[in-house]
Copies of this chain bind each other. A is one copy, B any other.
Amino acid sequence: MTSIRKRSKKAGLAPGTLIHMGRDKAGATRVDMVFYDETHLEKHPVGTLDQCLIKKGAPGVTWVNVEGLSDLEVLRHFGSCYGIHPLVLEDILATDQRPKAADYGEYLYVVLKMIALDEESAEIKSEQVSLVLGRNYLISFQEGLEGDVFEQVRARLANEKARLRAMGPDLLLHALLDVIVDHYFLVLEQLADRIEDIEDELIDNPTTATVQAIYGLKRQLLFLHKVFWPLREVVSSLQRRDSQLIQDTTVIYLRDLYDHTVQVLDTLETLREMLSGMLDIYLSSVSNRLNEVMKVLTIIATIFMPLSFIAGWYGMNFKAMPELDWPYGYPAVFVLCLTIAGGMLVYFKKKRWL
């Protein structure tokens, strides 16, 4: 999950040098394309990239989705066709990018993390998504993890009456960002479930494994903080209407999205504070248990040490020990021991140790 292991390959290279920093197992690069306007919708995968896919100034919206970044030629193709700056291409490849939005006049570049749940392992799968918004197109670059969270957007596009169909690529940008943020909630909900499970464990039977689970969750939340926090600024900058590529009618949707990102951060903050509180609970519970253990030990020792001494005393082999010969010596010692034990118990009762 840590994203701090890749940059060094690039030390000292010229800016804009394209080097693949992403997942080693990333499969081949696949490109597919959807063209739509209010009346038409065409989908098709793209094989070879001989010529530029989208004509400048053509009507309708074209959404090109690039899955996997291992084929650098594909990137170069888009760079030369749409005038994307080498530094942006480099950012698309640098898959530990901090979320950001940058306006390059002709196009808008947005980069963020797409997060989804692995159904089996319940682990967080994180994939970098770069979005390039042009006047009549949107290109999405995915780092290459199998699948994405865009299925519902594709379904909405298929619906002829959907608002998306009637609007420009900026609303498609919103739709993609929105579904990505919606999945942040999904992940947070699952983490909240796990936190509640650990909370129960904490009260019933805390172990070192519980602490490690808390610690593991803390690091996951730390990772999510790094992913979520800059997004707030990203969405905020998008809805500030600076770019001509974002229409006024879209701004209200971006404001709604901004609300969601703030809420994601609020929820995350709540989870973090809950975890902090749980460590305190754990430590106080460990202290309590130590107290319990030590009380048992002390009670036992405080009762039996004097008794054992008495028994040892009358086990001495001195010739002259008159008590040993007394007829009531033995029962007297018995009574003495009972008295001592009883007195101790009363004393502990008073101290509320029992």
Residues of A within 8 A of B (CB): 2, 4-5, 7-8, 10-16, 85, 87, 90-91, 96-98, 100, 102, 149, 151-153, 156, 162-164, 174-175, 178-179, 182-183, 185-186, 188-189, 192, 203, 205, 208, 211-212, 215, 218-219, 222-223, 226, 252-253, 255-256, 259, 262-263, 266-267, 270-271, 273-274, 277, 279-291, 293-298, 300-302, 304-309, 311-321, 323-325, 327, 329-330, 333, 352-353
Contacts and interface: CB of A to CB of B under 8 A. Distances in A.
22 contacts: A2-B192, A8-B185, A10-B182, A11-B179, A12-B152, A15-B178, A97-B259, A211-B288, A218-B277, A222-B270, A283-B283, A286-B288, A290-B294, A293-B295, A297-B297, A304-B306, A304-B309, A309-B311, A314-B316, A317-B324, A319-B329, A320-B327
Contacts of A311: 309, 312-313, 315-316
Question: Chain A at the B interface: mostly helix, strand, loop or mixed?
Answer: helix
A313 B329 CA distance: 13
Nearest to A190: B8
Given A98-B263, A319-B324, A319-B325, 20 more contacts: A10-B182, A11-B149, A11-B182, A11-B183, A11-B186, A12-B151, A14-B163, A14-B164, A15-B174, A16-B163, A208-B285, A211-B288, A283-B283, A287-B287, A294-B297, A304-B305, A311-B312, A312-B312, A316-B324, A318-B323
